[in-house]
Amino acid sequence: MPRSTLLIAGSIAIDQIATPNDNRKNIIGGSATYAMVAASHFADVSIVGIVGSDFPAAGHQLYRTYAKNLEDLYIANGKTFSWGGRYEKNWNDRVTLFTDLGVFAGFTPHLSARNVGVQTALLANIHPVLQKSVIEQSKAEVVILDTMNLWIEITRHELDEVLTMTDYLLINENESELLTGEKDIKAAAEKLIDYGIRQIIIKQGSNGAHYFNSNEHISVGVFPVERVVDPTGAGDVFAGAFAGTIASSGSCTDGLVYASALASVCVEGFGVEKLSNVNADDLQQRIEYLKGTLNL
Ligand code: AMP
């Protein structure tokens, strides 16, 4: 059977990351990068995004390796999106040091005919105006959306517009409280479902993730990672694996398991270093473990 295609629009970044143990510069990151590597396990990936003239050869190589279609990957004069983050000693709290949109500022893609026709689209974390522009051009029947606290805080109106076009929303616990005012995730999910988004996935970091629709609640745990090296990108990987699974089989339960498995691999290295070297037996072992944590 031919593989399904997943359209991914999101940030493509050069990151600077400080963890309690290490500091790294010039890591190839961004929501689209992490999501692409994860989704490539399940679907052929088409990318919508932009990089600057400073984007390194290794970054271009990564995109050639994991994406099937780069027609809508723009290369512009200027600086690639860059982001810096520092994790506190508890590893849970992250401080954003800087966000420099670079060539993403004012970027409006014109989707190629091939990408207009893709059936499933993941709008990975990026400015909601850009997410909206991609959704409006695309004929996707399934729209999966990820976002973050920054956009909820500074572009709420634009985000609300995008939410009316969303079939699956992925957010973490803090973001669900920020969006709905509800601390309890079930109450938050109910509010979002009332708002018209039929399927909500709320991630609780090391406590797992929950899927809600109007009559189902499914949860999955986490794989116990021996040593966390860098949590950056775990949310994007989760979104990419979930969306890739939805594109290929439509199964939310499988999506939760595969998303949690790949997110556990992501945090074991900086950037996509572990994710791009994961071996099939290791991944399968994580998947089997996580199937045992499902609560249907
Ligand atoms: P996560 O750890 O899942 O929140 O994702 C971290 C990645 O998101 C990093 O590689 C950043 O480059 C990227 N990122 C951080 N802030 C933003 C933002 N405001 N919009 C889009 N991408 C971002």
Cα–Cα nearest to 127, from 236, 11, 218, 233: 11
DSSP assignment of 54-113 equals: T--HHHHHHHHHH-SEEEEEEEESSPPEEEEEEE-TTSS-EEEEEEE-GGGTT------H
Angle at which helices 156-163 and 128-137 cross, to 10°: 30
| pLDDT grade for 2, boundaries at 50, 70 and 90 | confident
In angstroms, the CA 108 to CA 133 distance is 7
pLDDT value at residue 113: 97
pLDDT band per the 50, 70, 90 thresholds, residue 106: confident
Is the separation of the CB atoms in 272 and 67 below 8 Å? no
Amino acid identity, position 202: I
pLDDT number for residue 92: 81
For ligand 1, atom 1, the nearest C-alpha belongs to 233
Q: Is 15 in the pocket of ligand 1 (CB under 6 A)?
A: yes
Res 192: pLDDT: 98
User: What share of the chain in percent tops pLDDT 70?
Assistant: 100
Tokens of 167: 């079939």
Under DSSP, the state recorded for 295 is B
Neighbour order of strands in the sheet with 168-172: 69-76, 44-52, 5-9, 120-123, 142-146, 168-172, 199-203, 209-212, 217-220
pLDDT at 90: 87
CB 210 within 8 A of CB 216: no
Decide if pLDDT at 1 tops 90. Answer: no
The whole-chain average pLDDT of the chain stands at: 97
Q: Tell me the per-residue pLDDT of 46-73, one tens digit each, with 9 for 90 and over.
A: 999 999 999 999 999 999 999 999 999 9
Residues 208-218 have a mean pLDDT of 97
Average pLDDT over residues 96-108: 94
pLDDT tens digits for range 11-59: 999 999 999 999 999 999 999 999 999 999 999 999 999 999 999 999 9
User: Over pLDDT 90: what percentage of the chain?
Assistant: 97
> What is the spatial distance between Cα 264 and Cα 225, in angstroms, rounded to a whole number?
6
Mean pLDDT of 73-88: 97
Q: 236 CB less than 6 Å from ligand 1?
A: yes
Pocket test for ligand 1, best of 19, 31, 229 (most atoms within 8 A of CB): 31
Distance 2 CA to ligand 1 centre (A): 32
In the structure, what pLDDT confidence band is assigned to residue 243 with cuts at 50, 70 and 90?
Answer: very high
pLDDT digits (tens, 9 = 90+) for 121-161: 999 999 999 999 999 999 999 999 999 999 999 999 999 99
Q: Return the residue whose CA atom lies nearest to atom 15 of ligand 1.
A: 83
Check the CA dihedral 200-203-257-233 and report its sign.
positive
pLDDT at 245: 98
Nearest residue to 49 via CA among 63, 37, 38: 63
E strand or H helix that includes residue 172: strand 168-172
- Centre of ligand 1 from the C-alpha of residue 246, in Å: 22
pTM of the model: 0.97
Q: SS3 for 241?
A: helix
Question: Of the residues 148, 173, 206, which should be mutated to test ligand 1's pocket, given the most ligand atoms within 8 Å of the CB?
Answer: 148
Rounded distance between C-alpha atoms, residue 220 and residue 257, angstroms: 7
State if residue 235 touches ligand 1 by the CB under 6 angstroms criterion. Answer: yes
